[in-house]
């Protein structure tokens, strides 16, 4: 989804900032709940977008329709209980937050039918960006959240093998982007999720 006008910028930028900020805040909050003080010590338990923005990832969101924020650093050695399951919970927290925000945006769009065009566009952008972040981050490739979720399900030895790919993850993602594989999967998946959320919220698309 591209910004072709000042109207789109005014509606889309706030939606983008909300999606990114709440996604990263959710990661940090879950880690804190599990006992890790690291996100708080680094100022990541904040709803200030400046605490979470990654310049390149944000530009990718604006230009290509998908991207990333500055990762929240966590230390699983602080976690209470199983560290592997704890990392899975931290990984899930961001996409789940995006799904909640996408649903709330769809409900708001239904309840404010006939709202001023700028508000209507903001709600649709909110639905789009949160759906996109949920789908993109659940790809099971390190360092994306989906890899942490998958590692929480796999046996410990297999999970360690998955984490060993983390150094190559960004290169693999760039390769998938350059070949068009990522876009061919991501766009229909996001559209499908948006349709499902809109239907659940009683909003026609």
- The residues annotated as belonging to the active site are 24
Burial 36-50 (b: 16+ CB within 10 A, else e): bebbeeeebbbeebe
CA distance 75 to 202: 41
Q: How far is CA 55 from the centre of its chain?
A: 16
CA distance 136 to 154: 21
């Amino acid at each position: 989804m591209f910004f072709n006008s000042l109207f789109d910028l005014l509606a889309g930028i706030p939606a983008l900032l909300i999606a990114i900020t709440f996604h990263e805040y959710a990661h940090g909050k879950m880690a804190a709940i599990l006992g890790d003080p690291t996100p708080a010590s680094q100022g990541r338990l904040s709803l200030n977008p400046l605490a979470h923005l990654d310049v390149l990832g944000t530009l990718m969101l604006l230009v290509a329709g998908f991207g990333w924020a500055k990762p929240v650093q966590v230390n699983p050695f602080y976690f209470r209980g199983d560290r592997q399951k704890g990392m899975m919970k931290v990984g899930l927290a961001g996409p789940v937050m995006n799904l909640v925000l996408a649903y709330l945006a769809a409900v708001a769009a239904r309840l404010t039918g006939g709202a001023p065009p700028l508000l209507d566009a903001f709600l649709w952008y909110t639905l789009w960006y949160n759906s996109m972040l949920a789908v993109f981050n659940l790809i099971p490739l390190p360092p994306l959240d989906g890899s942490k979720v998958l590692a929480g399900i796999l046996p410990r030895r297999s999970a360690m093998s998955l984490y060993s790919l983390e150094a190559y993850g960004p290169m693999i993602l760039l390769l998938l982007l350059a070949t068009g594989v990522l876009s061919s999967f991501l766009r229909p998946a996001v559209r499908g999720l948006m349709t499902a959320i809109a239907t659940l919220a009683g909003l026609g698309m």
